[in-house]
Structure 1
Amino acid sequence: MEKNMRRTTLICFLVALFLFSCSSDKDNKGSKNDGNSLQKKNGGTVVSAISSDIDSWNTLFSQQSHGEELRRFLFLKTLTYNENLKIRGSDFRPCLAHSWRFSEDFLNVTLYLQENLRWSDGVPITAHDVLFTYQKMIDPVIGYPHFSRFDFVDTCRVINDYEIKFHFKEVYANELDHINFEVLPKHVFDRVSSEEMRDHPFNENPSVVSGPYRLKRWERGQLIEFEKNPEYGFSKPHIDRFIFRVIPNQISRLTSLKTGSVQLVQSVSPEQVESLQKDNPNLNMLIYPSLSYEYIGWLHDHPLFKDRRIRRAMTMGINRRQIVDALFHGYARECIGPVHPARKDFYNSRLKPLPYDPEQAKSLLAEAGWTDGNDDGILDKEGKNLSFVLKTNINSQLRIDAATMIQADLKKIGVKAVLEIVEFNVMIAQQTARDYEALISGWSMNITFDPTDIWHSKSIASGYNEHNYANAAVDSLIDLGRRTLDKDKSRHIWYRFQEVLYEDQPYTFLYVKDHVDAIDNRIKGVKTWPKGVYYNMEEWWIEEP
């Protein structure tokens, strides 16, 4: 009886825990553009404007969230999510694997692969490709940023060409999610060492792909063009080509949209929404929840930001509510930590944003020894001014505007923030190299919650903990939370995790924001979801004028 109850609990937990339901369609303005009553047409081209280029076509080396969105055109994962992330027997649906089976003790899961799928060069996609990709992801020479997803995987072995089994060290909540990844073509890299893979031509010219499209051309920093993959093993997409034009300037992106040279722009400035809707009846606005949050990251190796009092003072000296109200027009909300409010199972709603309190901020700075000794308006200590460089990227006017407001707020409490605006890929490279003092950036959170990559100290060496934050209490809570299957117990663990970060302020958490995209209303069949607009691009089609 006890064993059966435990098994039932595990089944429910493994398909439900750490996933959340998106807002209903009635809450998402323009979240669908399905055109179901119209006859679907094949052919045509969709041109999108994007703010920055992809860093790598190889999942092993890419560090950009929008890179994953672009690679969906080219590469299939072992599984994929149901579009609404609601429990329908499972939150996953088939992709490379048509089904999967857990062992009775949930320490093993076997994936059963589709047998009719081929790479674009005609070679069958097999379990050997899955094993190869897994082995490279755990190879320390590769330095895969998401390596921690395999912490609980003990072994992976091929049963036959179309069956592969993963064995786990222990039962935990995210088993299926953590073996869901983009699969690479083993035969392309058969004679390539891990050391050689980072500079392999495939990273810039992936000539062998598995997705609905293949790469026709890539002009770095200028243009990406996809065309249909004739070897794609599922229903063929309706659209012949997708073209992405890299246009860093936001005004130029909107101009291209208004003139019709592009048909889709993501991350429209919220202040433009009303005028776009009013003056451009040919456009639909897609406004829907995202999993993104923006933050100021403090480099914890910097002498200033080692001190928690300084970090808390920075947060309390910035009027984050004013930034949200002035820049986002209702499409963003203040953020208190790395857990999205939509994750109701473990979002700690008892925590409220730290207040905007310049006097308390000054008091904390004085406590840390910073006073205005020479009466010039800038705090100083031992002959040095309280000054630092705040970086952000040139292709986000919202971040630049926020940085300007932050600079003005900090000046009021005697802090000099020097703004440095750089290209996005330059900022990412500098962040990875720890070549910064503070920066405004953002994270797009995963569907399932596992903060290891960003917040665990082991991810400093290989992962996304690029602010070098190390807190033994946070490490312990993450380790415990990942292992805890009881829903109520895990909730309290993740509550405490948020409370420790709230007190420590390793980031100044700024805001969570909605997706705000604009699309030509002739493009039909679009379904949005929290990770971006291209979720079902295979089903899009263009209505004839």
Structure 2
Amino acid sequence: MNLRTPRIALSLAATAALAWAGPAAAETPQTDGTVNVSTVYRTLDATTWDLQRWTWKGNHDNLQMESLLRGDLQYGPRGSNENSFVEQAYIPYAQLEGSLAESWEVKEDPMRVVFHLREGVYWQEVPGVMESRELVANDVITSFKTRWDNPRAIPTFWDFVERWEAPDEHTVVAHFSKFHGNWPYRLAWGYYDGILPPEWQNLSEDERADWKNAAGTGPYRIADIQTGRQQVYEKNDNYWDTTTIDGEEYLLPLNEKVVYHIIKDESSSVAALSSGRVDIMEAIRWQLVDQLKKTAPELEFRKHVATQGTYIALKTDEKPFDDVRVRRAMNLAIDQRAILSSLLNGEGELLNYPFAQRWTEFYTPLEDLSPAAKELFSHDPEKAKKLLADAGYPKGFSFDVQVCSCSPYHMDVVAMLQAYYQQVGINMNVKTLEYGAFRSNMRGDNQAGGYLMNNGSGNPIQVLRKSFMTGQTWNAARYSNEDFDKKITAAIHEPDTEKRNASIRELNDFIIEEAVPHVWLPTEMVYSAWWPWVKNYHGETRIGAVKPNAIYARIWIDQELKDKILND
């Protein structure tokens, strides 16, 4: 049953909330196309379809799922261009708009956030799971409560929510025990906050893990999953949202299907783009760009510094990495600048983690850090040897480092790291793992002393909390500092924005220059490319924490232009 209703008379406020009016388009959208994508995570299948397991990748794979808020693309390259919308999990508060929530209010005495849900938003019908029905307030509350009760919940993630309330069917109130400076990310547009119906929550674990049972309110439904090959998403004919192009309003999505192509081999992915088998490739290493420009000169490109940090997390709760002198030596032994200039051909940045350079209001440039911090980015093997000797390792030591075969950069850089460490007496044994085993080893009994990883910068509060706070899931270095924990907790609950921002800037500098839980490595530059037949697209990849569904829903394919380019 199609419950969609025509939108004939919309108030100005509703129109602004529902429509992303991009630049004028000369063509009329052809809404019957298929968008083929080699995504940012082209080498990775879905980690799990059971979203109660707190999988970080769920937002990316479950295009049928939506959250309360999202990033407003009018602030991106199709509008004011204040935000590239490539960040993994950072959207300034002023650049948010309603998604399932039409509007929201922050209130005090008591501290709470009131979400006003849209009317006329319907759950998709899922045979054997649920019939289509309207989204109501208790659905939202149940979604949060059920996920929070799961034993895999990230510690402290929602502990600031004292209780939930539904005054009516379209109002949800989150009452806080105290102010939380990152509440929009934690509750409304980040990871783990996709709203799922009670009917799905009540399924068994095995049933939730079956993609055929996936339920949501979003622009797509999961149509077919072929592990190691592709994920196919079909248009939700009963979707609530619209967009305006050239003064005319269109129901979303503007295409019939979106297909994720899982391509583990880099050369195969480039060939798929060059041949037109994929329309968009969201992540391309700099080494391949010149080749693509020659083989497919019509392609459009954008580039940006990758949205994650690259580093070796050193296991700080065990010898030898429990000694900060050893951790400093591990940094001084390698030549980060040589890695950047040779391996990356200068296509990257020396310091882009924990805070990303795009966060201009938070980021401290390397040249403005303390001498102790600057030293870590110099190559001084003699001082590294002295620090090792002072720490009781005059002859060096051996350690294992785990690396994922899913990252070409990591597979390339480990040989350079081995050579640098040999010069100071350190023997680094490389353990290469497929992503599943690699990820499961992090913080597990099988985690090695060194863990070479990419980790999304996320946002300023999130990256400090998840990577360096005691006991947090993504704290691969197992770093623990009681004073740091107290200060980050105080910053999180500081209601004064200026004071909070100043505190987290200081904590970021402390992690880099004093704590040194990681071997800092350069962050590579990433390119994206798409064919001219991809319309109403400007290189955006995320409108929330790795959430692309609202972006894909606005793309349409000019099939005539595609046929012309490929056949010329």
Superposition TM-score tier, normalisation by shorter sequence: 0.7 to 0.9
Match of 2:225 among 218, 222, 226: 218
Q: CA deviation at 1:533?
A: 9.2
Q: What one-letter code is carried by the residue in structure 2 that aligns with 1:413?
A: V
TM-score, length of structure 2 as denominator length: 0.80
Task: Rate the CA distance shift 1:119–1:272 in 2: closer, same or farther, 3 A.
Answer: same
Match of 1:423 among 422, 434, 438: 434
Matched, 1:476 2:491: no
Q: What one-letter code is carried by the residue in structure 1 that aligns with 2:35?
A: V
Which residue pairs with 1:143 in the alignment? 152
CA separation in 1, counterparts of 2:113 and 2:382? 56
Which residue pairs with 2:495 in the alignment? 485
Does 253-262 or 86-95 show the bigger shift?
86-95
Which residue pairs with 2:422 in the alignment? 411
Does 123-132 or 202-211 show the bigger shift?
202-211
Q: CA deviation at 1:211?
A: 1.1
Match of 1:319 among 306, 326, 335: 335
CA separation in 2, counterparts of 1:257 and 1:286? 15
Which residue pairs with 1:99 in the alignment? 103
CA separation in 1, counterparts of 2:408 and 2:156? 34
Match of 1:538 among 523, 529, 553: 553
Spell out the pairing of 1:279-358 with structure 2 (5 A cutoff): 279-335=295-351, 337-349=353-365, 350-351=368-369, 353=374, 354=376, 355-358=378-381
Q: What one-letter code is carried by the residue in structure 2 that aligns with 1:296?
A: I
Secondary structure of the structure 1 residue equivalent to 2:502: helix
Q: CA deviation at 1:490?
A: 2.5
CA separation in 1, counterparts of 2:406 and 2:215? 31
CA separation in 1, counterparts of 2:147 and 2:423? 47
Which residue pairs with 1:44 in the alignment? 33
Which residue pairs with 1:60 in the alignment? 52
CA separation in 2, counterparts of 1:256 and 1:271? 17
Task: Rate the CA distance shift 1:513–1:260 in 2: closer, same or farther, 3 A.
Answer: same
Q: What one-letter code is carried by the residue in structure 1 that aligns with 2:161?
A: V
**Is contact 1:223–1:246 with CA below 8 Å preserved after alignment?**
yes
**Is contact 1:434–1:466 with CA below 8 Å preserved after alignment?**
no
CA separation in 2, counterparts of 1:319 and 1:35? 49
Which residue pairs with 1:24 in the alignment? none
Secondary structure of the structure 2 residue equivalent to 1:407: helix
**Is contact 2:273–2:279 with CA below 8 Å preserved after alignment?**
yes
Which residue pairs with 1:500 in the alignment? 510
Match of 1:273 among 289, 296, 311: 289
**Is contact 2:59–2:65 with CA below 8 Å preserved after alignment?**
no
Task: Rate the CA distance shift 1:295–1:35 in 2: closer, same or farther, 3 A.
Answer: farther
Which residue pairs with 1:8 in the alignment? none
Cα shift readout 1:318-352 (whole Å, capped 9, x = no counterpart): 11121122233443201264112222222233325
Matched, 1:233 2:256: no
Secondary structure of the structure 2 residue equivalent to 1:305: coil
CA separation in 2, counterparts of 1:34 and 1:522? 16
Q: Give structure 1 stretches of 5+ with no counterpart.
A: 1-32, 373-378, 380-385
Q: CA deviation at 1:529?
A: 4.1
Match of 2:197 among 164, 182, 185: 185
Secondary structure of the structure 2 residue equivalent to 1:183: coil
Which residue pairs with 2:451 in the alignment? 439
Secondary structure of the structure 2 residue equivalent to 1:406: helix
Identity of aligned residues (%): 21
CA separation in 2, counterparts of 1:508 and 1:136? 38
Q: CA deviation at 1:41?
A: 1.3
RMSD over aligned Cα, in angstroms? 2.5
**Is contact 2:31–2:254 with CA below 8 Å preserved after alignment?**
yes
CA separation in 2, counterparts of 1:34 and 1:323? 41
CA separation in 2, counterparts of 1:99 and 1:448? 25
Secondary structure of the structure 1 residue equivalent to 2:383: helix
Q: What one-letter code is carried by the residue in structure 1 that aligns with 2:70?
A: T
Q: CA deviation at 1:203?
A: 5.2
**Is contact 2:285–2:526 with CA below 8 Å preserved after alignment?**
no
Which residue pairs with 1:457 in the alignment? 470
Q: Give structure 2 stretches of 5+ with no counterpart.
A: 1-21, 77-81, 83-90, 126-131, 243-251, 562-568
Spell out the pairing of 1:165-176 with structure 2 (5 A cutoff): 165-176=173-184
CA separation in 2, counterparts of 1:507 and 1:530? 28
Cα shift readout 1:511-533 (whole Å, capped 9, x = no counterpart): 33443122222112113347469
Q: CA deviation at 1:456?
A: 1.3
CA separation in 2, counterparts of 1:162 and 1:448? 32
Matched, 1:368 2:388: no
Q: CA deviation at 1:509?
A: 2.2
